[in-house]
């Protein structure tokens, strides 16, 4: 009886594996994909019809282009849908298919060999594109019209239609604000010098860890390592935000904030930095809205090169510089493109700004963009410790 129950359980699990996974893609993206495929196939057909010199025996559309459209517009992030995949894969498959059709008499044998060798060629050239298998079959089983083209089939229609469809995809994704292409070869990471400590892994794992896991798998995942790493990092941040979701930037920021105006003198700004023992000061206008930030490095940066007599006279008349040619007001040295965060931002969302963006102090603003405080790395660490204590006490 136990063996029978185990067999039924195994059968149910096997049948359950046929159930499709939930579709996480939103309706907007689904409609965008459908419209893109419509535009892409229509562009190929219309272009083939109006291109001069295309012989009437050449089909306006070959069936594999429909499968390519599914990848290019439906799953553009897939490594199988990238530009080199569609161009290289289709060219390899078409060449292999035509060769097999001409050199192997039996069509079944020619079709099987063509698909097998096309896959081998695509793996070797890193241009795996599933619709290319249909290209190889079309070259073998396409009938007298296709066979009459010979190796011309590789260029017309395959290469031409692949290029037109790819161009349509590039334009369409750009116009609709969708990133394409994805991935690509990344520069190799610099090896640490002898005796140097290895760089700490951010977020619990490093890219080397991810590459090692992928190499141990016996099957190829249809996602680029870069996209997979970004997805895992984002998942970590989501879990982190769910765990540390109580405190906000307003709870951990330094306040009251020591802000200055653009007309504050350099001397006064340096004095305020020394008196308050801080390294940066937010710059606000008369209404208290954030307009910039200034650091000690900004305030003490030397003037590059000697100023001409006319420049010194103009600067003195405008009040921008002092008598020594050094900027006299904060307005001349402050950073205007300053990153800021709302006072309602969860603490967890502050972490990547400091960890990945290189910020050391970030002003906190309210809904009217008025300066309410400033968050430093020390504030962030203190806030994370407080959050941990709150979780342990809960």
Range in 9-13, 40-44, 187-191, 212-216 the model is least confident about: 187-191
pLDDT for 200 beyond 70? no
Q: Is the C-alpha dihedral spanning 292, 298, 304, 309 positive or negative? A: positive
Which of 3-7, 162-166, 221-225, 285-289 is predicted most confidently?
A: 162-166
pLDDT at site 211: 82
With beta carbons less than 8 A apart as the criterion, state whether 338 and 353 touch: no
For residue 220, give the 3-state DSSP assignment.
coil
For the stretch 131-147, pLDDT in tens is: 999 999 999 999 998 99
- Predicted confidence (pLDDT) at residue 201 exceeds the cutoff of 80: no
CA distance 68 to 37: 9
Name the pTM for this structure.
0.58
Which residues, 6 or more positions from 321, have their beta carbon under 8 angstroms from its beta carbon? 307, 312, 315, 327, 328, 332
Average pLDDT, the chain: 81
Helix, strand, coil: what percent of the chain each, to 5?
55, 10, 35
pLDDT of 197 strictly over 60? no
**Residue of 95, 84, 97, 91 lying closest to 166 (CA atoms):** 84
Give the separation between CA 158 and CA 64, rounded to whole angstroms.
Answer: 9
Closest CA to 49 of 178, 191, 152, 157: 157
At 323 the pLDDT is 43
d(CA 248, CA 379): 11
Q: Give the whole-angstrom CA distance, residue 96 versus residue 132.
A: 11
Got the DSSP string for 334-387?
Answer: -BSS---EETT-BHHHHHHHHHTS--SEEEEE-TT-BEEEEEEHHHHHHHHHHH
Q: What is the CATH number of domain 249-393?
A: 3.10.580.10
Taking residues 46-61, what's their average pLDDT?
76
Burial of 222 (0-12, 13-18, 19+ CB in 10 A): middle
Tokens describing residue 320: 């921008």
Task: Return the pLDDT at 339.
Answer: 84
> What does the block give as tokens for 56?
């009437």
pLDDT tens digits for range 276-325: 888 888 999 988 899 989 888 888 876 444 444 444 444 454 444 444 44
| pLDDT, position 306 | 47
Q: Is the pLDDT of residue 11 over 50?
A: yes
Asked if 321 and 314 touch (Cβ cutoff 8 Å), the reply is no
Q: Residue 366 in contact with residue 372, Cβ under 8 Å?
A: yes
Contact 97, 114 (CB under 8 A): yes
- Structure confidence at residue 117 (pLDDT): 97
Res. 192: pLDDT tops 50: no
The C-alpha angle 371, 372, 376, rounded to 5 degrees, equals: 95
The DSSP element (H or E) to which 161 belongs, if any, is: helix 160-175
């Amino acid at each position: 009886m136990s063996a029978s129950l185990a067999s039924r359980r195994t059968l149910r699990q096997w049948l359950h594996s046929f159930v499709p996974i939930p579709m996480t893609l939103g309706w907007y993206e689904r409609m965008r994909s459908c419209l893109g495929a419509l535009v892409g196939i229509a562009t190929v057909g219309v272009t083939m019809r109006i291109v001069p010199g295309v012989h009437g025996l050449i089909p306006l559309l070959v069936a594999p282009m429909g499968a390519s459209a599914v990848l290019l517009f439906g799953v553009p992030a897939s490594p199988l849908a990238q530009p080199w995949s569609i161009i290289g894969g289709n060219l390899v498959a078409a060449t292999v298919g035509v060769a097999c059709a001409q050199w192997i008499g039996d069509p079944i044998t020619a079709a099987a060999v063509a698909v097998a060798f096309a896959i081998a060629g695509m793996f070797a050239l890193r241009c795996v594109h599933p619709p290319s298998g249909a290209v190889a079959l079309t070259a073998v089983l396409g009938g007298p019209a296709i066979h009459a083209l010979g190796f011309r089939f590789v260029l017309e229609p395959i290469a031409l239609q692949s290029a037109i469809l790819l161009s349509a995809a590039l334009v369409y994704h750009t116009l609709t604000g969708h990133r394409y292409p994805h991935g690509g070869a990344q520069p190799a990471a610099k090896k640490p010098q002898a005796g140097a400590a290895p760089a700490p892994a951010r977020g619990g794992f490093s890219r080397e860890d991810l590459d090692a896991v992928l190499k141990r798998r016996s099957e190829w995942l249809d996602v680029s390592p870069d996209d997979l790493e970004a997805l895992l990092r984002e998942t970590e941040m989501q879990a982190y935000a769910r765990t540390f979701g109580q405190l906000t930037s307003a709870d951990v920021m330094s306040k009251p904030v020591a802000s200055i105006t653009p007309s504050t003198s350099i001397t006064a700004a340096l004095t305020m930095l020394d008196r308050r023992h801080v390294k940066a000061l937010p710059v606000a206008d008369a209404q208290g809205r954030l307009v910039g930030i200034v650091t000690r490095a900004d305030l003490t940066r030397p003037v590059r090169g000697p100023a001409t007599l006319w420049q010194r006279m103009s600067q003195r008349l405008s009040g921008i510089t002092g008598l020594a040619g050094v900027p006299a007001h904060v307005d001349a040295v402050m950073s205007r493109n300053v990153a800021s965060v709302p006072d309602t931002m969860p603490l967890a969302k502050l972490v990547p700004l400091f960890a990945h963006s290189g910020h050391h102090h970030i002003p906190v603003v309210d809904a009217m963009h008025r300066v309410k405080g400033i968050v430093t790395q020390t504030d962030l660490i203190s806030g994370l410790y407080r959050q941990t204590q709150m979780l342990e006490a809960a």
